[in-house]
Amino acid sequence: MSKRRLIRILALLFVAANLGWHFFVAQDKESDQYPNRPITLIVPFGPGGESDTFARMIQKAIAENGFLDQEVVVKNVGGAGATIGSGQARKAEPDGYTMMILHEALITAQASGKVSYGPESFDPIAASGKTNMIIAVAENSPYQSLTQLMESAREKPDQLVFAANLGAPVHYAGLILEKDLPGASFRYTQKGGGAARFEAVIGGHADVSAFSLGEYVSFRQGGLRAIAISSEKRHPKAPEIPTALEQGFDFVHANMHFWWFPKGTDPIKIGLMANVIEKCMATSQVQQQLALRLSEPFVQTGAPMKAVLENRIGKIQSVDATSPNVLPDIPLCVSLITAVSFIVLMVSRLTKPASAEDSASDDRLTEVTAAYRKTAICFLLTAALYLLALEYVPVDFRIVTAIYMFSVAALCTSLRSADLKRLLSKTYVLEMVILVPLLVFFVFQSFFSIQLP
């Protein structure tokens, strides 16, 4: 190779290296600019609810006013009282690209023992959109005031049924009212969303429940009657509803939406997003939407917001959520029954003497392969139904799993092949069918902190 050609090659390499260096420096500068890709906003409820509506309202304001160079993508992760979505947000990278909107349910879920984590596992960004709560009964209810209702709850403890999403803010509304009148006690029944609680009250399955003011406005034409509002003064858009305060109950509460980043997020990113939320709340389009839902255009960030949050935590933690009047813990009962069934099976298996017939059948076990093939489809269909139920049926993981376990056990014991039955009786298949899903549940929840539905 000639000297001139070598110089040309070296010169080209130098130019290429220089261009590459400038390219990577430019990339680094671009990566320092936040945000440089879409931000995921987790809504830990299904589409169409209060939180989802609020999140999409802010999402639209950001996009239409150009408050961010990147879009905000709403991701609905419903189930288990918002704990599945909050669990995902908690485990996300604290890079500023995963955000969550969740009201006091994050506090109440921890206080009631649903999850082991709470606000301390996140970095709060802002508090926004203050909405009062309504205590309501059916239109034909004999209770004309909150005072009458609570006096009846004291005279007939555990008789009046309060529809609530147990462990959520609505449940705490009832507990706070009980605390204000010693001796008063409701019997709580699990009803998730506002529509379900409305149907329970109107249908006569519950005597009373709590709703957001916006929910009440939507439902009152269906036969709902408000007996108290949780504001300090009567609401100007609903002046006919007396406050709980003027009826002698210290129930002053306004649910608000808190915005959260995973713990450890850069304070600069927190400040930037807080500023964006403040700008959104100041727009006319957001304020008009809030007015339609009878919600205040409230927004706070920084130290004042943290003070509000601490006040909410203290208020909720002062109430005992482990009330004996809450209906039985069905998932716990299912777990205990399943554990007892497993122990009974194991004891019967270990104490059962081997018969001559079982010994003689050992040589024929290889003949049951065909029977296995026939039953494989049944097991696969059962497993598919189980997975579909976990995804789409709004029931606790342990209840669905218990049904699945006993279905498989019943399938095993109903097999026509006598040899296959003997094989199952000589192994621990049935025990494993019962034990493995329970182990999966405890491993996921206890060691990985993944909240199964």
Which pairing describes strands 187-190 and 161-164: parallel, antiparallel, or unpaired? parallel
Which of helix, strand or coil describes residue 425?
helix
CA-CA distance, 101 to 257, in Å (whole number)? 6
The answer to whether 167 and 109 are in contact (CB under 8 A) is: yes
Q: Give the pLDDT score at 339.
A: 65
For residue 119, cis peptide bond before it (omega within 30 degrees of 0): no
What is the secondary structure of 124-171 as a DSSP string? EEEEEEEEEEEEEEETT-S--SHHHHHHHHHHSTTTSEEEE-TTSHHH
Q: Give the pLDDT score at 8.
A: 58
Residue position matching structure tokens 């995804």? 391
Q: What are the CB-based long-range contacts (under 8 Å, 24+) for 377-384?
A: 378/411, 379/408, 379/411, 382/407, 382/408, 382/411
Q: Give the pLDDT score at 194.
A: 79
Residue 438: which residues within 8 A CB-CB, separation 6 or more?
335, 338, 339, 401
Residue-wise pLDDT tens for the chain (453 aa)?
555 655 555 555 555 555 554 444 444 444 468 999 999 999 988 787 778 889 999 999 999 999 999 999 999 987 777 888 898 899 899 999 999 999 888 988 888 777 888 999 999 999 999 889 999 999 999 999 999 999 999 999 999 999 987 777 888 899 989 989 999 999 998 887 778 889 999 999 999 999 988 788 888 899 999 999 999 999 888 899 999 999 999 998 888 899 999 999 999 999 999 999 999 999 999 999 888 878 888 999 999 999 989 988 887 777 655 544 444 445 555 556 666 666 665 666 555 555 555 544 555 555 555 555 566 666 667 767 766 776 566 566 667 777 777 776 666 666 555 555 555 555 555 555 555 566 665 555 544 444 454
Ramachandran quadrant class, 48 (left: phi over 0; alpha: psi -120 to 50; beta: rest): left
Q: Give the pLDDT score at 28.
A: 43
Number of C-alpha atoms within 13 angstroms, CB side, residue 53?
12
Which of helix, strand or coil describes residue 351?
helix
Residue 110: which residues within 8 A CB-CB, separation 6 or more?
116, 117, 118, 119
CA-CA distance, 91 to 434, in Å (whole number)? 30
Name the DSSP letter for residue 361. Answer: H
CA-CA distance, 382 to 389, in Å (whole number)? 11
Amino acid at 7: I
The answer to whether 150 and 185 are in contact (CB under 8 A) is: no
C-alpha closest to that of 96 among 28, 38, 26: 38
Amino acid at 76: N
Q: Give the pLDDT score at 371.
A: 57
C-alpha closest to that of 437 among 398, 408, 411: 398
Q: Give the pLDDT score at 150.
A: 97
Enter the pTM of the model.
0.62
CA-CA distance, 207 to 177, in Å (whole number)? 15
Catalogue all structural domains in the chain, each as residue range(s) with its CATH number: 39-128+256-317 (3.40.190.150), 131-254 (3.40.190.10), 330-447 (no CATH)
CA-CA distance, 93 to 287, in Å (whole number)? 32
Q: Give the pLDDT score at 108.
A: 84
Q: Give the pLDDT score at 292.
A: 83
